[in-house]
């Protein structure tokens, strides 16, 4: 593993502020990405004591070069995640970020990672589209001696040493949380024994966020003989596709009680489809809308009375990934797997909670 012994104290100080900024209520807006043509700095090593702790940014050429392969720009969650990464991995914080948008295609990610290897970056960070298909390219990164940090969704590899660390959400737990909310909600509305018909708008098939949420719901709803999953179909995590799939569900089934949308943007599309079909949704409506992510627009939707609940999925991973990289720079151990703490936000809490939200 390569290490650059440069201004670590200075960067640690900056990192601390990045953590506070990233997780607080005032996330700084995204900055422009470093051009992909930026070459990795030569492996010249400055001495640890060369950069005084008070120096804001290390001199040019000493930055830690991070290649980040992002899924795409399919959702509000993703936009917030990209913003968090870009506002953390700045030149001022001691990094050069090479950002690549894979447009939801794993083949683009494989190309991006191979590019990063060719440019001899210091760290490769991947938010993987799907879980499988990573073994070969990660072996190439390992052979090149470049540590790989996985963020957000997980990967499924035969050899765990192909990545150094992962940080993201417990998607299975999110699925459990959605069912727990529905159980309580139906009981509170004296509908615990009613026949409940559910449809699911799934995320990108094969992504951890889809797999965990689908499986979590399926596992927990097995205890409810009176709940039926009428249909599941992917809406690719986008609003447009979510709307399209919901329109077709509404044509096929006239008795949908619950929509589970595996992210907020698909829920927004589903809400439009429900309304266009002449039905109502939300706490006072015909159709219960359950969603995941809890982005700002979901709070607006809950406040407007359209969405019932959003299970939180925190996208502010920039400072978390930076913390991992800083530890690796110092030769400190890092957690192989780190889950982020998350909550559940029902509509009746939305107005109160919204001002505290950072994304
Ligand atoms: O829920 C969705 C996004 O992987 C957690 O991807 C992420 C998911 C998120 O498109 O909105």
Which pTM does this prediction carry?
Answer: 0.85
Cα 6 to middle of ligand 1, angstroms: 35
Instruction: List CB contacts of 309: < 8 A, sequence separation 6 or more.
Output: 178, 181, 185, 289, 290, 291, 302, 344, 345, 346, 347
Ligand 1 atom 8, closest CA: 209
Ligand 1 atom 5, closest CA: 209
Q: Is the CB of 89 under 6 A from ligand 1?
A: no
Instruction: Please report the pLDDT score of residue 35 as a whole number.
Output: 37
pLDDT digit string, tens, across residues 299-344: 999 999 999 999 999 999 999 999 999 999 999 999 999 999 999 9
**Across-strand partners of 12?**
none
Ligand 1 mutation target, pool 127, 238, 296, 313, most atoms within 8 A of CB: 313
The DSSP output letter for 213 is H
The whole-chain average pLDDT of the chain stands at 87
Please, what are the domains in the chain? 5-167+314-340 (3.40.50.2300), 171-313 (3.40.50.2300)
How does DSSP assign 268-304, residue by residue? HHHHHHHHHTT--BSTTSSBEEEEEE--HHHHHHHHT
Query: What is the distance, to the nearest Å, from the Cα of residue 258 to the centroid of all Cα atoms in its chain?
Result: 24
Q: What are phi and psi of 254, to 5 degrees?
A: -100, 5
Query: Does 358 have pLDDT greater than 50?
Result: yes
Atom of ligand 1 nearest to the CA of 293: 1
Q: Is the CB of 232 under 6 A from ligand 1?
A: no
Q: Is the CB of 202 under 6 A from ligand 1?
A: no
Q: What is the CA radius of gyration of the chain?
A: 22
Q: Is the backbone of residue 305 left (phi > 0), alpha (psi -120 to 50) or beta? A: left
Q: Is the CB of 312 under 6 A from ligand 1?
A: no
Q: Is the CB of 209 under 6 A from ligand 1?
A: yes
Q: Is the CB of 313 under 6 A from ligand 1?
A: yes
Max CA-CA distance within the chain?
A: 70
How far apart (Å, rounded) are the C-alpha atoms in residues 354 and 359?
10
Instruction: Please report the pLDDT score of residue 82 as a whole number.
Output: 98
Determine how β-strand 309-312 pairs with β-strand 344-346. antiparallel
Q: Is the CB of 342 under 6 A from ligand 1?
A: no
Q: Is the CB of 153 under 6 A from ligand 1?
A: yes
Contact 234, 266 (CB under 8 A): no
pLDDT digit string, tens, across residues 193-214: 999 999 999 999 999 999 999 9
Q: What share of the chain has pLDDT > 70, as a percent? A: 83
Cα 152 to middle of ligand 1, angstroms: 8
pLDDT digit string, tens, across residues 25-71: 333 333 333 333 333 333 333 333 333 434 344 455 689 999 999 99
Instruction: Please report the pLDDT score of residue 298 as a whole number.
Output: 98
Q: Is the CB of 74 under 6 A from ligand 1?
A: yes
Cα 62 to middle of ligand 1, angstroms: 33
**Across-strand partners of 311?**
292, 344
């Amino acid at each position: 593993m390569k290490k650059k012994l440069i201004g670590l104290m200075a960067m640690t100080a900056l990192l601390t502020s990045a953590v506070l900024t990233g997780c607080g209520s005032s996330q700084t807006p995204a900055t422009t990405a470093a051009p992909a043509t930026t070459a990795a700095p030569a492996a010249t090593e400055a001495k640890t004591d060369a950069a005084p702790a008070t120096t804001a940014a290390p001199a040019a050429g000493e930055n830690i070069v991070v290649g980040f392969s992002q899924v795409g720009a399919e959702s509000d969650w993703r936009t917030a995640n990209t913003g968090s990464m870009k506002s953390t991995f700045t030149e001022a914080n001691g990094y050069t970020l090479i950002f690549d948008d894979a447009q939801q295609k794993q083949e683009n990610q494989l190309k991006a990672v191979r590019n990063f290897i060719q440019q001899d970056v210091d760290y490769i960070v991947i938010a993987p589209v799907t879980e499988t298909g990573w073994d070969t390219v990660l072996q190439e990164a390992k052979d090149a001696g470049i540590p790989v940090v996985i963020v957000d969704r997980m990967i499924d590899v035969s050899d765990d040493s192909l990545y150094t660390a992962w940080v993201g959400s417990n998607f299975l737990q999110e699925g459990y949380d959605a069912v727990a909310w529905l159980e309580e909600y139906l009981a509170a509305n004296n509908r615990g024994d009613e026949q409940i018909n559910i449809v699911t708008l799934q995320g990108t098939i094969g992504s951890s966020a889809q797999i965990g949420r689908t499986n979590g719901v399926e596992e927990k709803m097995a205890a409810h003989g009176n709940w039926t999953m009428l249909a599941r179909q992917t809406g690719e995590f986008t609003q447009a596709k979510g709307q399209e799939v919901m329109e077709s569900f509404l044509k096929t089934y006239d008795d949908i009680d619950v929509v589970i949308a595996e992210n907020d943007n698909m829920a927004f599309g589903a809400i439009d489809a429900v309304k266009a079909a002449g039905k109502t949704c939300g706490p006072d409506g015909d159709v219960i809308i359950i969603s995941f992510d809890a982005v700002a627009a979901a709070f607006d939707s809950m406040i407007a009375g359209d969405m019932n609940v959003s299970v939180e999925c925190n996208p502010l991973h920039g400072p978390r990934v930076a913390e991992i990289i800083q530890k690796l720079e110092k030769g400190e151990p890092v957690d192989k797997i780190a889950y982020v703490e998350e909550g559940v936000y029902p509509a009746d809490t939305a107005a109160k909670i919204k001002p505290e939200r950072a994304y």
